[in-house]
Amino acid sequence: MAKKRKIRNDTLLKTIKKLLWRGTVLFFSISILSVIALNWFPVRYTPLMFLRFVENIDDNNYRSIRKWKSLDEISDNMIRAALAAEDANFMEHFGFDWEAIKRAMDLNRRGGKKYGASTITQQTAKNVYLTPSRSWFRKGMEAYFTILIEIFWTKERIIEIYLNVIEVGNGLYGVEAAAQTYFNKPAYKLTAFEACQIASILPNPREYQIDNPTRELQKKQRKIKQSMEYVKWKERKKER
């Protein structure tokens, strides 16, 4: 009897191991193929868009606005403003800005305001594939997709997808929706200051208001404007 039970347990263990192995292979295969495919296809929906829809399902006035635009249809001002605000070393790193991470850790150890160091690649990985929940598992998945994105996408493709899927207001996604909603113009016509206004709200677009900026937000807009000219973008594009 004990021998039969041992055989059943061994068989069950082998089955579980086989299922785990197949599941792991399937996950890696699908995730890699998905990242490769998005080199050519626009991202129409993200987990965050679905989450916001569920949160507002009882609100009849809620509308989700997103308009995909290629990088050539987005103002260079907007690209530079986003880089200056969120990831000044975007063109130099491979998905992770280790100096920024170390600096944020040092500042956070002192207490007070919490600082993050997520790069645009990390934010793109989170926006396209994950939810905004905070957990070590989610951070691990974010790191995994960040590496895949840096391997299979160009820097131009990363920033293109980022600027098309970021949340820029309640129900607003992408800089084209922001440009049309806030300034009544397409994204390729955004001025440097308008681009800075949009970039300044990216950390918390549902709390910050472009049309009624706080003093802190105005200060951030000026800082972004000053940093834009130092951002490396066109230099790299000309070399490619």
Q: Is there a contact between 158 and 121 (Cβ–Cβ < 8 Å)?
A: yes
Q: What pLDDT is stored for residue 113 in this prediction?
A: 61
Q: In the chain, where does DSSP find H-type helix? A: 2-37, 47-55, 76-86, 98-109, 120-129, 136-152, 155-165, 175-183, 192-200, 215-228, 234-239
Q: Which residues 6+ apart lie within 8 Å of 224 measured at CB? A: 81, 84, 85, 196, 199, 200
Every domain of the chain and the residues it spans: 41-234
Q: Which fold has domain 41-234?
A: Penicillin binding protein transpeptidase fold (1.10.3810)
Q: What pLDDT is stored for residue 203 in this prediction?
A: 81
Q: What pLDDT is stored for residue 3 in this prediction?
A: 58
Q: How far is residue 95's CA from residue 215's CA, in Å, rounded to a whole number?
A: 32
Q: What pLDDT is stored for residue 239 in this prediction?
A: 41
pLDDT mean for each 10 residues of the chain (240 residues): 62 80 90 94 92 88 89 95 94 88 73 72 95 87 96 96 95 96 96 96 88 90 92 57
